[in-house]
Amino acid sequence: MSLNVEDLARANVRALTPYQSARRLGGNGDVWLNANEFPLPVPFELSQQTLNRYPECQPKQVIERYAAYAGLQPDQVLVSRGADEGIELLMRAFCEPGKDAILFCPPTYGMYSVSAETIGIEYRTVPALDNWQLNLPAIADKLDGVKLVYMCSPNNPTGNLINPDDIRQLLEMTAGKALLVADEAYIEFCPEATLAGWLKDYPHLVILRTLSKAFALAGLRCGFTLANKPVIDLLLKVIAPYPWQPQ
């Protein structure tokens, strides 16, 4: 009998390399470029007067105001602990570990692979072309068994926008097979490129947003998943009962 507690852990977790966030890497100074933070504090006041009550799972006022900001209906918005939780909720709701897969196109955000490995979901990669655009034929060849395609636009770390004609082709390619998840963490720097207005035409489109970048609220840990109601309803089945942190 082994006395090593690590032997009790799942094999994929033992082999997992965690996401190396700026804070995990350490360092000194006030400006952390590798965290993509706003370097100056943003003044705001705490409005929660008591902490003896659990917070709402989906705070009504936050949902309504962000829906208005995004030009959507409240039932198309889910609030979570950063966009990172949205990435993982989609995997938990739509992917069977050991059966389904996700796909993304590096170089891009590292949490897609970390979340997949943590849950035990296969991930497939199709490297971006030399101009950082999607390699659509190569993606088509790898779609069998894929339930989620993650596409970051503007992309992290390259900063480029994905060609909208290519996005439409990818949406047609994945219809009835997979969800296309557009990570719009940096969309406030080019708001005209958002896909929020496309939700009415594509039931399998999902959009991830965050307040950590342009809104300079990284410490708040507040993100949003934008999708049509059937997708939001499924995510509400797997989200933690108290994901919202009252501030």
The domain locations on the chain are 61-238
User: Tens digits of per-residue pLDDT, 134-148?
Assistant: 999 999 999 999 999
pLDDT recorded at residue 29: 65
- Low-confidence residues of the chain: pLDDT under 70: 1-3, 5-6, 8-10, 12-13, 16, 18-38, 40, 42, 44-51, 244-247
The pLDDT of residue 154: 97
State how far the Cα of 36 lies from the Cα of 174, in Å rounded to an integer.
Answer: 31
In this predicted structure, what is the pLDDT of residue 11? Answer: 74
Question: pLDDT value at position 16?
Answer: 62
Residue 225, pLDDT score: 97
Residue 108: per-residue pLDDT: 96
* Dihedral, 89, 92, 98, 100 alpha carbons, nearest 10: -70
pLDDT at 136: 98
Give the C-alpha separation, 70 to 241, whole Å. 25
* pLDDT of the residue at 30: 64
Q: Which fold has domain 61-238?
A: Aspartate Aminotransferase; domain 2 (3.40.640)
Q: How far apart are CA 13 and CA 189, in angstroms?
A: 36
Beta strands in the chain (DSSP E): 77-80, 101-104, 122-125, 146-152, 179-183, 205-210, 223-226
Residue 224 to residue 185: CA distance in whole angstroms: 10
